[in-house]
Structure 1
Amino acid sequence: MMSSCTGSAPGDNATAIARPGTAGVGDRLFPALGNGGYDVVHYGLTLSYVPETNRLKGTAVITARATQNLSRFNLDLSGLRVRAATVQGAKAQVTRRDDELSVTPATTVRNGELFKTVVTYDGTPRTLVGDDGGMEGWIETDDGSTALGQPTGSTTWFPGNHHPSDKATYDITVTVPKDEDGDPYDVVSNGKLITEVDKGETVTRRWRTEEPMASYLAHISVGYFEIHKGRIDDLPFYVAIDPDESAGAAKVPDLVPEIVRWASARFGPYPFSSTGAIVDHLPGLGYALETQTKPYFGKAPDEALLVHELAHQWFGNSVTPSTWKDMWLSEGLATYAEWLWEEERGGRNADEIFEDFYDGTDSESEGIWAFPPADPPSGRRVSDPPVYGRGAMVVHKVREAVGEETFFDILRTWNRRHRHGNADTRQFIALCEDKSGKDLSELFGIWLFNEKKPSRM
């Protein structure tokens, strides 16, 4: 993970001074997110949730490796009451300031040590509302709830190191009561369903994510769903559709395999051990989210949106931006996947789509010149149009400059080289220049970093 605190030199663990890990990793757009001094390896989240009261009880077992001698470290958590915490089985002191938990272990955690922190907590999880009215965090639906994490919403339902640079594997176990008719609520999360236990009045489901995942991609949906399961060759898929959206989403269970096969042929092998989608009934949400292995939709998606969110499984989920300002690598490439899909399905070709964005006639082109895609002015604008549409225009310019064969080689190499890791803008530019043998500084300078709308070139 990124850390603004450096660890002690090898062999100095016994004598190096222990000091607190930083609160925040120094991300310009979200300075309070993430924490220094450790790298999370695994989250074991055991949750109990009652939809009727919207009450959540949780135990988070966080396994991490120290990257320095730690006298104290921080966890991000928004709302919810912490009841107790232990580190390596011993009671730890916990203090709180806003969304930061400071955990002081009974003894120093040594640099390189794998250590386990257990936090028990409860309360009514928060819904976060942005300046534009957009919702994230824990959101109640008409028959349950959903947890959406981008960019900060994951902090509302579990404590952790909530920056994209610190990825981990997950086990998410959720217990929910049956309703008044004795019917169980469904619980859908990332990865594979490992166990489902009916205890009479409650049902417990355990989901496992075997590949590293950024916390903003962690997800839970509780409600009633029609479940469609199958396989794409050897890859299992799991599609959950709210009955209120079943008519509009009727094609989704067939489109998911089609899109995954299509994307695999262009971007490289599908990077995870399962796939799917969740179509909920939350029509006022206003966006979809690329939650890992099963992108989330608040209503039935059209083909382009389904392509976009599934393309994120390569661009954004497996290869995750190192910092939030690198988010154009996720959104620009996923948007360009839409262009490729339309081009190959008999719609506009990518040149025509580019022109429609440039002259403002495409319905998604409004606002794309507000700022350079690789330099959002603030965290609240990290999902604004330049990151998407102008980001895709940068990708198209690369395709024009390097040619078809080299372009798709770049995409496949990008996904292979950084599989399940993090990468940044500098690395993408270097790969494009290395594969093409060309100096592309002028191209990226004009289309990616320039403040103003470029002249045609």
Structure 2
Amino acid sequence: MSMRTKATAAVASAAAMTLFAGTALAASPGAPGAGDPYFPNFGNGGYDVSHYDIRLTYNPAGDQLSGTTTILAKATQDLTQFNLDFLLKVKSVRVNNAPSPFVSDEGELILTPRGGVRKGQDLTIVVTYADTPSAVADRNGYRAWTKTTDGALAIGEPEIASWWFPSNDHPTDKATFDVNVAVPDGVEAISNGTFAGLTKQINGYTRWNWRSTKPQATYLTFLTIGQFEIRQSTSPSGQPVLNAYSERLGDNADAARASIERTPEVIEFLAENLGPYPFEAQGGVVTPNLGYALENQTRPTYDTAFFRRGANTYVVAHELGHQWFGDSVSVHHWRDIWLNEGFASYMEFLWSEHVGEGTAQENADYVYDLYPEGDPFWDVLPGEPGANNIFHGAVYDRGALAVHALRVAVGDDKFFEILRTWVNEKKYSDATIEEFFALAERVSGQALDEVFQTWLFTKGKPASAPGRSSLSLASQAEPKSRAKIALTHELLDARK
């Protein structure tokens, strides 16, 4: 994962200082980071974004991306300057229709609007740019944009936006999106939300239009371009469903379709347990060249390898579980990643129960037994994994065991009440692990510190799998879903 450090904010312009001179206002540059303890320079301060309009043209032949992103925002303080996160070459910037001086410095686009910005002021920021994204690396040499044989993939976590649109790149600043991308006729360009149709261009290009009307984090905003089969339908709940399958899936193509086409069914099951699906559209994308699956809002993307042994609805349940845990309710800081991955992994346990391929307890017993005592796996703490381990297997697997331990401690009725209350109260926002602890204790009426400390914050293998009985200990029954778990582990190290 990218570990870039942002540039130090430049000195404010003389014009801005003149504006604020002689007043009681403490005008200053916006912070160059959102204050995340793991990645303190991700995101920015001083403003809040409400909407991104991303209008691009992409030529796959030379990996040439060009266009304009318009950002609607509001200043949260008096500003002499502020930053956007962006790595590509910028041609021009306008702030509230006036040309703005700017400096691009190692992933920081530093804007110094003439006259400064007042707290509460509405901002319209227009950035025009052009570059070859696959040739662009951050200061640590990391490249997130993937050039493919027929197009490109702009998919990644915790960062991807900087390789294709300027943004406030942190989950605490969500916004709505319009993504409009022109590609050569016969090429598909797929993104989040509702498909708003095609616009034929006069130069042999066709523009693909997408709209996301619910708050969406920047890293969950994706773009994939290439040769795809697109299937559109309507879910039983009446929502539009759009699935896209790369024409390069080979022998995995039918297994992929047999999995992804069940997306509305999986969402229906999850909604029964978690509450209403939080977004306006459904779907999925399957492609080679990814190496993992990612929960892009409304339309997760899956690597074709997940389906090489046949249909795999477990990975679908995992990524769709993220629509509640991770997408609607996002991390406040990246150290809170257990709130995403532990719960999404547990959705696989619930799906296993639902389809009769192993109870949640059997899955918990299996995962617990998978890692022997003394294995370094048990030294990574899901509740505080460290910046280098936010996608470590322990966050997923020990994280799921922590969720099961909560279920065992409070019982099924209170457990599912906790889940539904959490996603309802925190809908479209962000949250911390500590907030979840407080809510779980409030809803259950129990003290749960020992449960969370044991499974999230204490190194070493706990004495027993949560909920394991003497009968299950004696039988060591293997869940029918063992093949599913093995496949997840095969791709786990590269899944994000």
In 1, the alpha carbon distance for the partners of 2:84 and 2:376 equals 36
Which residue in the other structure is 1:5 paired with?
none
1:96: Cα distance to partner? 2.4
SS of 2:167 mapped into structure 1 = coil
Answer whether contact 1:368 1:389 (CA < 8 A) is retained.
no
In 1, the alpha carbon distance for the partners of 2:146 and 2:376 equals 28
- Please give the root-mean-square deviation of Cα atoms over the aligned residues, in Å: 2.1
Which residue in the other structure is 1:189 paired with?
191
* Of 250, 260, 264, the match for 1:257: 264
Answer whether contact 1:136 1:153 (CA < 8 A) is retained.
no
* Of 199, 222, 226, the match for 2:225: 222
Which residue in the other structure is 1:181 paired with?
none
SS of 1:315 mapped into structure 2 = coil
Which residue in the other structure is 1:291 paired with?
296
1:367: Cα distance to partner? 5.7
Which residue in the other structure is 2:19 paired with?
none
Answer whether contact 1:195 1:205 (CA < 8 A) is retained.
yes
- 2:59 equivalent to 1:54: no
Kindly report which structure 2 residues correspond to 1:112-131, keeping only aligned pairs within 5 A, or say none. 112-126=120-134
Answer whether contact 1:197 1:205 (CA < 8 A) is retained.
yes
* Of 333, 345, 357, the match for 1:323: 333
* Of 95, 114, 118, the match for 1:110: 118
- 1:422/1:280 Cα in 2 relative to 1: closer, same or farther (>3 Å)? same
1:317-375, Cα deviation, whole Å (9 max, x unpaired): 0111111010110010000000111122112211121122222269xxx8642311011
Answer whether contact 1:136 1:148 (CA < 8 A) is retained.
no
- 2:247 equivalent to 1:238: no
Answer whether contact 1:137 1:157 (CA < 8 A) is retained.
no
Equivalent residue letter for 1:406: K
Which residue in the other structure is 1:166 paired with?
173
TM-score by length of 1: 0.90
Answer whether contact 1:136 1:150 (CA < 8 A) is retained.
no
SS of 1:348 mapped into structure 2 = coil
In 2, the alpha carbon distance for the partners of 1:249 and 1:367 equals 34
- 1:344/1:368 Cα in 2 relative to 1: closer, same or farther (>3 Å)? farther
Kindly report which structure 2 residues correspond to 1:193-204, keeping only aligned pairs within 5 A, or say none. 193-200=195-202, 201-204=204-207
Answer whether contact 2:243 2:261 (CA < 8 A) is retained.
no
- 1:128/1:455 Cα in 2 relative to 1: closer, same or farther (>3 Å)? farther
Identity across the alignment (%): 39
In 1, the alpha carbon distance for the partners of 2:136 and 2:93 equals 25
- 2:454 equivalent to 1:452: no
SS of 1:196 mapped into structure 2 = strand
Equivalent residue letter for 2:44: N
1:127: Cα distance to partner? 6.9
- 1:262/1:368 Cα in 2 relative to 1: closer, same or farther (>3 Å)? farther
Return 5+ residue gaps in structure 2 as ranges.
1-22, 467-496
Kindly report which structure 2 residues correspond to 1:3-402, keeping only aligned pairs within 5 A, or say none. 15-78=24-87, 80-126=88-134, 137-178=144-185, 184-200=186-202, 201-232=204-235, 233-245=237-249, 246-282=253-289, 285-299=290-304, 301=307, 302-360=312-370, 368-378=377-387, 380-402=388-410
Equivalent residue letter for 2:340: S
Answer whether contact 1:64 1:116 (CA < 8 A) is retained.
yes
Equivalent residue letter for 1:106: R
In 2, the alpha carbon distance for the partners of 1:431 and 1:339 equals 23
Answer whether contact 2:335 2:386 (CA < 8 A) is retained.
no
Answer whether contact 1:73 1:103 (CA < 8 A) is retained.
yes
In 2, the alpha carbon distance for the partners of 1:441 and 1:250 equals 43
- 1:89/1:128 Cα in 2 relative to 1: closer, same or farther (>3 Å)? closer
Equivalent residue letter for 1:186: E
Kindly report which structure 2 residues correspond to 1:435-446, keeping only aligned pairs within 5 A, or say none. 435-446=443-454
In 1, the alpha carbon distance for the partners of 2:461 and 2:102 equals 50
Identify, as 1 or 2, the structure richer in helix.
2
Equivalent residue letter for 1:188: I
SS of 1:357 mapped into structure 2 = helix
1:228: Cα distance to partner? 1.1
**Higher Cα Rg, which structure:** 2
Equivalent residue letter for 1:152: E
Answer whether contact 1:367 1:386 (CA < 8 A) is retained.
no
Equivalent residue letter for 2:303: G
- 1:385/1:34 Cα in 2 relative to 1: closer, same or farther (>3 Å)? same
Which residue in the other structure is 1:9 paired with?
none
Return 5+ residue gaps in structure 1 as ranges.
1-13, 179-183
1:257: Cα distance to partner? 1.4
TM-score by length of 2: 0.83
* Structure 1 outlier segments of 4+, above 6 Å: 127-130
User: Aligned residues, how many?
Assistant: 431
1:173: Cα distance to partner? 0.7
1:199: Cα distance to partner? 2.4
Answer whether contact 1:136 1:147 (CA < 8 A) is retained.
no
Answer whether contact 2:371 2:377 (CA < 8 A) is retained.
no
SS of 1:260 mapped into structure 2 = helix
1:247: Cα distance to partner? 2.3
In 2, the alpha carbon distance for the partners of 1:95 and 1:332 equals 40
